[in-house]
Amino acid sequence: MSFYMTFDNGKTNRNFHIEIAERPSIPIAEDNVEYIQVPGKDENLTRKDGFNNRQLQVQFSFSDKTNLIGYMRPFISQLRNSKSFYFSDDTSIEYRIKNVIISDIEREVRILGKFTVTFVIDPFCYYRNVATIDAKNVPSFTNIGDYYSKPYIKVTCNGTVTDTQLVVNDLIIKFKTITDFIEIDSNIRKCYKGNPSNSLGDKVEAADYPILKTGINNISCSSNITHVYIEPRWRCF
């Protein structure tokens, strides 16, 4: 079976009669580093701030006598509208797309051709098909990645409760009022209900948004909270 990639809508490059010429090399995420020159000092200060996006180049090839445009146009649309993909030889992780750059088509003979797509991707890879954790029932669990994650958390209760709290490791999150449920998304840094535009940030007190550290994470909550559903969003380099 040939090597291929699957996009977030379930389609693969082979659905468009386009093949991957060879398995691409996966670039390693690089630190975003700033060197600061300090007057009077012989050496620079170094400040690290996260990681840079990666550029993953994939060479595609095709062989078609009759309907090249009919295949290429929908494939280009697929590339531009996809948010993530994974490769057929490692279906456990996905790469999240920030941008795509598509080269011109090079024809080797009249019906054979190739082109290169540069995927600008997130510095991290994300684990696929990870089960949601109910931390009310599983208060301790292990981060399977090799870097901390920014989870989505849904806290539920029966009716309306006041002055309740959730503790994620050492972070205490206090809720002034919850009616049925409240959602916390550490990736977009918002507290809301139903839609991120429906902000409930004024109902929450915390020093920061929760993260799930590498290794073991411990969760606890007030007795009037019924469930703490966590999508952990495990990630790795």
Tens digit of each residue's pLDDT (9 = 90 or more) over 74-114: 999 999 999 999 999 999 999 999 999 998 876 655 557 78
Q: Which of 82, 106, 127 is the last residue of a domain?
A: 127
Mean pLDDT of the chain: 90
Please compute, for residue 32, the number of CA atoms within 13 A of its CA located in the half-sphere on the CB side. 7
Look up the pTM and report it. 0.85
CATH number at 183 reads 2.60.120.860
Tell me: pLDDT of 197 over 90.
yes
Cα 109–1–24 angle (5° rounding)? Answer: 65
- Which residue is listed with tokens 């649309």? 77
138 plus 216 within the same structural domain: yes
Residues 139 and 106 in one domain: no
Angle at 17 between CA 109 and CA 88, to 5 degrees: 120
**Is residue 1 over pLDDT 60?**
no
The two tokens of residue 192 are: 């809301």
- 153 in the same domain as 117: no
Are 118 and 172 in a shared domain? no
| Interval 172-188: pLDDT, tens | 999 999 999 999 999 99
164 torsion bin: left (phi>0), alpha (psi -120 to 50), beta (else)? beta
Average the pLDDT over 205-229 and give the result: 96
88 shares a domain with 174: no
Claim to verify: residue 50 and residue 94 sit in the same structural domain: yes
Residue 2's pLDDT is what? Answer: 79
Say if residue 151 is in the same domain as residue 113: no
Residues 38, 108: one domain?
A: yes
Select from 127, 159, 192 the last residue of a domain: 127
**Total tally of structural domains belonging to the chain:** 2
Q: Are residues 122 and 22 in the same domain?
A: yes
- 223 CB contacts (<8 Å, ≥6 apart)? none
Q: DSSP string covering 29-79, please?
A: P-EEEEEE--TT-SS-EEEEEEE--EEEEEEEEEE-SS-HHHHHHHHHHHH
DSSP string, 85-104: EEETTEEEEEEEEEEEEEPP
Shared domain check, 173 and 60: no
Closest CA to 138 of 35, 218, 31, 20: 218
| 122 and 68 both lie in a single domain | yes
- Tell me, what's the pLDDT at 72? 82
Residue pLDDT, tens place only, 19-73: 998 899 999 888 877 777 777 676 777 777 788 999 999 999 887 655 666 778 8
Residue 114: predicted pLDDT: 85
Q: Read off the pLDDT of residues 134-165 as tens digits, 9 standing for 90 and up.
A: 999 999 999 999 999 999 999 999 999 999 99
Instruction: Look up the domain containing 37 and give its range.
Output: 5-127
Is residue 14 located within the same domain as residue 111? yes
Residue 106's CATH number: 2.40.30.200
Number of Cβ within a 10 Å radius of residue 182:
22
Among 212, 226, 219, which residue's Cα sits nearest to residue 182?
226
Is the CB of residue 165 less than 8 Å from the CB of residue 221? yes
CA pair distance 53, 121, nearest whole angstrom: 6
What 8-state DSSP symbol labels residue 212?
B
Write down which residue in 105, 127, 149 finishes a domain.
Answer: 127
